[in-house]
Structure 1
């Protein structure tokens, strides 16, 4: 029996520049470990890590992320 393909969707979101730079640093870190990874794979790994947390740890992780204004940033 053939495995059913997982449907993928495209999305966009607003992220602070410092956190976007962290993604770049994590990609470099993965490369030093011999693992090439894409941004979307890092985000999915983060989701996997979050889903495995206890409620208390999950709540603490959410509290550590500041709320930002959504939407497109203003042009400089």
Structure 2
């Protein structure tokens, strides 16, 4: 959400929030890495490469990979 807000702010006003950009530059690469890992693990575990099916698997309750994503994102928010 913050990425989208920053994009809109820059697009419409021509300036950015320096602190928000610093936070995004620090955390966004890790967030992307967590999601990429989760997608690849789901593909490997379920032997499918259909993106819709992979995303449905990730959304399902009691999914260990979904829990790994949540834990990874919680960890990032604590790193600050």
Fold-level similarity (TM above 0.5): no
| Higher relative contact order, chain-length normalized (CA < 8 Å, sep 6+) | 1
TM-score by length of 2: 0.31
* Higher helix residue share: 2
